[in-house]
A and B are shown apart, each in its own frame.
Chain A
Amino acid sequence: MTGERCARGASFGDLLDYWADDLGQHDAERVEAHVFECVECANRLADIATMADAVAEAVRGARVQSVISDAVLNKLSRDGVRIRTFTPEPGSFIPCAIWPEDDLIVSRLRGDFSGYDELTLVLKGDEGLELSRNVDIPLVSGTHEILTATSASHLRRLPSMRLRLIVSGKRGAIEDVIGEYGLEHGGAMSR
């Protein structure tokens, strides 16, 4: 996985496409035949499989912070991940707390995010302390909603505080705040 092609000329990209089920049957069979003849590509494919499995396991374990789609959310739910969802309105604060049974916290941010060259999502404490910044987030849930997933264990470490999720968008050199969403983080709760 360190080079683009093996000594026999097969491309790493083909191996990845094969693993992601993105090749037609003929090409997939060609890759399979090659892997059974080429130790280097067999090792590379094993490498891809291991990385892919590690990514899936990290997501399944609710340990990845990412924008997600409803399809991912539904799969997480089917996999038994316990999800708490908040839908803060732009310009207002809603109470939120993390309960012991929570694995993943999802915020649904609604607004018109269409037509921007680049979207940035910033998480700030109420006094302006920036806790995270994600530049160039993709719109994976359509142009009017952003779903952000955060590990509950990560949020449990935060003290009670007001949090602001700020989505801004760039058009050319101009950056506008599209929406500010407030969460009254009540800290880690117990029952």
Chain B
Amino acid sequence: MLADAIASAAPGAAQEEEAELYRRFAPRVRLYGLRHLRDAAAAQDLVQEVFIVLIERLRCGGVRNVEAIGSFILGTSRTIAADLRRTHHRRERLTETFADRTISVTPREPMLDKARVEDCLNSLPPRDRALLVLTFYAEKKAADIASTFEMASGAIRVARHRALMRLRACVTGESSR
């Protein structure tokens, strides 16, 4: 268990385990940040700050239940994201203070062929295309789209799911369900 190995090692001795923990969870913290902070740079700041706290707490034995490390990381993400939202200045100060103590492992981010995405998006049925544009560009919720499309909110969510599956199937070349 990674967290356990870090917690039981001398401070800083389990660097490989720390890097692996980062690889596994940094993408999730980044997603959490993107979802709640709606900004890629802020999400990346969140990742750094969460891992500073996490590694420090693990090294000094400050995580009570290392078995539930995911839960600890999520809780830390929530706390720090709330702070980031409340005080922009605090984010900048923490980043400056701890910038030299971050782990230099870049989380893998999925890459897509942009031209292919555009071709696939333009080849979708007009309703699917409009639904994805309204959801992911205009950031409209299903209830808002439902009133526009004169459909039930639940039906919009199902249609959106199918539209995204069709887009993904086209982009990846997999068959859509």
**A→B interface (CB under 8 Å):** 1-2, 4, 12-13, 16-22, 32-33, 35-37, 39, 42, 45-61, 63-69, 71-72, 75, 121, 134-140
- Enumerate chain A residues within 8 angstroms of B167, measured Cβ to Cβ: 51, 55
Q: How many residues of B contact A (CB 8 A)?
A: 52
- B1 interface contact, C-beta 8 A: no
Contact call A46/B27, Cβ cutoff below 8 A: yes
Which residue from B70, B73, B125, B148 sits with its C-beta under 8 Å from A69?
A: B148
Which B residues, 30 to 50, have Cβ-Cβ distances below 8 Å to chain A? 31-32, 34-35
Contact call B142/A20, Cβ cutoff below 8 A: yes
Contact call A55/B130, Cβ cutoff below 8 A: no
- Enumerate chain B residues within 8 angstroms of A57, measured Cβ to Cβ: 114
Contact call A21/B133, Cβ cutoff below 8 A: no
Residue of A nearest to B148 (CB): A140
Given contacts A1-B168, A37-B71, A58-B117, contact A68 B130 (CB under 8 A): yes
Which residue from B74, B114, B134 sits with its C-beta under 8 Å from A72?
A: B134
- Enumerate chain B residues within 8 angstroms of A4, measured Cβ to Cβ: 177
Contact call B133/A59, Cβ cutoff below 8 A: yes
- Enumerate chain A residues within 8 angstroms of B131, measured Cβ to Cβ: 138
- Enumerate chain A residues within 8 angstroms of B177, measured Cβ to Cβ: 4
**B→A interface (CB under 8 Å):** 24-25, 27-28, 31-32, 34-35, 70-71, 73-74, 109-112, 114, 117-118, 121-122, 125-127, 129-143, 148-149, 157-158, 160-161, 164-165, 167-168, 171, 174, 177
Contact call A46/B31, Cβ cutoff below 8 A: yes
**In whole Å, how far is B39's beta carbon from the nearest beta carbon of chain A?**
12
- Enumerate chain B residues within 8 angstroms of A21, measured Cβ to Cβ: 35, 139, 141
Query: CA of A33 to CA of B69 in the docked complex: distance in angstroms?
Result: 11
Contact call A71/B130, Cβ cutoff below 8 A: no
Q: Would you call the interface of chain B mostly helix, strand, loop, or mixed?
A: helix
Given contacts A33-B71, A35-B28, A55-B121, contact A66 B133 (CB under 8 A): yes
Which residue from A18, A61, A69 sits with its C-beta under 8 Å from B138?
A: A69
**In whole Å, how far is B149's beta carbon from the nearest beta carbon of chain A?**
6
Contact call A71/B125, Cβ cutoff below 8 A: no
Q: Would you call the interface of chain A mostly helix, strand, loop, or mixed?
A: helix
Report 13 cross-chain contacts, Cβ distance below 8 Å, ordered by A residue.
A1-B165, A21-B35, A21-B139, A48-B164, A51-B168, A55-B117, A55-B121, A55-B136, A58-B121, A68-B133, A72-B137, A137-B130, A139-B148
Contact call A66/B168, Cβ cutoff below 8 A: no
- Enumerate chain A residues within 8 angstroms of B112, measured Cβ to Cβ: 50-51, 54
Contact call B114/A33, Cβ cutoff below 8 A: no
Contact call B135/A64, Cβ cutoff below 8 A: no
**In whole Å, how far is B3's beta carbon from the nearest beta carbon of chain A?**
13
Which residue from B28, B125, B139 sits with its C-beta under 8 Å from A42?
A: B28
Which residue from A22, A36, A51, A67 sits with its C-beta under 8 Å from B130?
A: A67
Residue of B nearest to A72 (CB): B138
**In whole Å, how far is B119's beta carbon from the nearest beta carbon of chain A?**
10
Contact call A71/B138, Cβ cutoff below 8 A: yes
Query: CA of A18 to CA of B71 in the docked complex: distance in angstroms?
Result: 18
Chain B CB within 10 Å, residue with most, of A63, A75, A140: A140
Contact call B127/A137, Cβ cutoff below 8 A: yes
